[in-house]
Amino acid sequence: MSVRTTPATGATTESSATARPVAPGRGPGRRLAVAGVPSALGIGGLLLSAQLGVWDESLPGPGFYPLLASALITGAGVTLFLRQSDAELEDATPGETARVALGIGLLLAYAVLFPLLGVVTTSFVISLLWLKVLARESWRTSLAIAVGATAFIYVLFVRLLQLPLPLDAFLPR
């Protein structure tokens, strides 16, 4: 039962993080999750840095510094591959993984809705869902805290700090 934790976010997903309980430090899936991601990041970095130009004439080029950083990641990543004891991944039940995925979904929804609906509506809706669905609070508690938290955000960021945030249609300008 392979549980994918994250929606499409590129290199940072851990699609191989299976929830099957295996003794710590065993199993190819785990090792891939722990060592494969850094190794891939390092090798990708090496290739990109090489394209930038590592050394021109007698001086280091734009790719010089990223190349060193990528080499460090690659070296350490490969070491992780070789040393099995380091390839540990905590067990997560499918339920827990689903909660984290939902949390990420709510954060992304916040990012999408914020410029469209404005700070107050977005904050209220997302915090209400977070409290009700993720924190499993009662409707009454969730509503009370969501209203309180949204009011806090409005007073702090919009009124006191007067930051240039996208305001909801119903708010005074």
Smallest gap from residue 170 Cβ to other proteins (A): 18
Smallest gap from residue 37 Cβ to other proteins (A): 8
Residues 133-152 that bind other proteins (CB under 8 A): 134-137, 145-146, 149-150, 152
Which residue of 40, 43, 54, 100 would you call a contact of other proteins, by CB under 8 A?
Answer: 100
Rounded to whole angstroms, how far apart are CA atoms 131 and 87?
A: 34
Residue among 83, 79, 90, 71 at smallest CA distance from 24: 90
Taking the least distance from each CB to other proteins, the nearer of 68 and 171 is 68
Residues 46-65 that bind other proteins (CB under 8 A): 48, 52, 57-65
Residues 66-85 that bind other proteins (CB under 8 A): 66, 68-70, 72-73, 75-77, 79-80, 83
36 touching other proteins, by CB under 8 A: no
Which residue of 2, 9, 15, 138 would you call a contact of other proteins, by CB under 8 A?
Answer: 9
Rounded to whole angstroms, how far apart are CA atoms 39 and 16?
A: 15
Please name every residue paired with 60 in a beta bridge, in sequence order, or none if there are none.
Answer: 55
- Per-residue CA distances from 149 to 103, 108, 118, 155 (Å): 18, 19, 15, 10
Residues 107-126 that bind other proteins (CB under 8 A): 107-108, 110-111, 114-115, 119, 123, 126
Please name every residue paired with 56 in a beta bridge, in sequence order, or none if there are none.
Answer: 59
* Residues 70 and 42 sit within 8 Å (Cβ to Cβ): yes
Smallest gap from residue 105 Cβ to other proteins (A): 10
Residue among 149, 92, 35, 45 at smallest CA distance from 157: 149
The torsion angle over the Cα atoms of residues 115, 117, 123 and 127, rounded to 10 degrees, is -110
Taking the least distance from each CB to other proteins, the nearer of 134 and 171 is 134
